Amino acid sequence: MSRLSRRSLLLSALAAPSLSLPAAARSRAPEVYAELGVAIDGSDPVAYFDGKGPVMGEDHGLMWRGATWYFASPRNAARFEADPKAFAPQFGGYCAFAASRGYLAPTIPEAWTLHGGRLYLNASLRARELWLADVEGNIAKGRANWPGILG
């Protein structure tokens, strides 16, 4: 993993030439949901586990699985770097409820659940309510669909 600042990420994105890929190469969704390459809209994934919910990350950035993850502190960045799978949201940060139904949907940082020591995100607070109605069943269905729904 490499450490990045938001400024260096933006500058490198602007400097990168656009790539022309065959349609087959473009059809698979990214492994991690990331708006403009930033996971969880810039929220610190470790902060959820500290009971703080969504906390905006600062310039403590790391690249992992094709996305940039931001953290509220160097300590949180180090914790994530040591074991990213322990802190990254399940289903690549895509909506957990949608994954349980067999499709991909974006997420918002505020629609979250910690269950069984794992972070799950949803597309909206309403999707989170539906998710919470049967968490265990929805996890099982999502795991059965994942990663096949990436395309």
**Strand-pair partners of 112:** 121
Whether 97 shows a pLDDT value over 90: the answer reads yes
Is 76 a residue whose pLDDT tops 90? yes
Using an 8 Å Cβ cutoff, are 57 and 87 in contact? no
Q: Measured between alpha carbons, how far is 33 from 104 in angstroms, rounded to an integer? A: 9
**Residue 149, class by beta-carbon neighbours within 10 Å (0-12 exposed, 13-18 middle, 19+ buried)?**
middle
Query: Using an 8 Å Cβ cutoff, are 146 and 97 in contact?
Result: no
Residue 77 pLDDT class (50, 70, 90 cuts): very high
Which residues, other chains included, contact 109 with Cβ-Cβ below 8 Å and sequence gap of 6+? Answer: 40, 41, 43, 54, 121
Encoding tokens for residue 75? 């300590």
- pTM across the whole model: 0.83
Given a cut of 90, whether residue 20 has pLDDT beyond it is no
Q: Are the beta carbons of 57 and 69 closer than 8 angstroms? A: yes
- pLDDT at position 2: 52
What does the pLDDT look like over 41-64, one tens digit per residue? Answer: 999 999 999 999 999 998 789 999
Tell me the average pLDDT across 90-119: 98
d(CA 77, CA 69): 9
By the 8 A CB rule, do 127 and 111 touch? yes
% residues pLDDT > 90 (the chain): 80
State the pLDDT at residue 1. Answer: 60
Label residue 16 by pLDDT band (50, 70, 90): very low
Q: How far apart are alpha carbons 8 and 114 in whole angstroms? A: 32
29: which 2 tokens? 């969704």
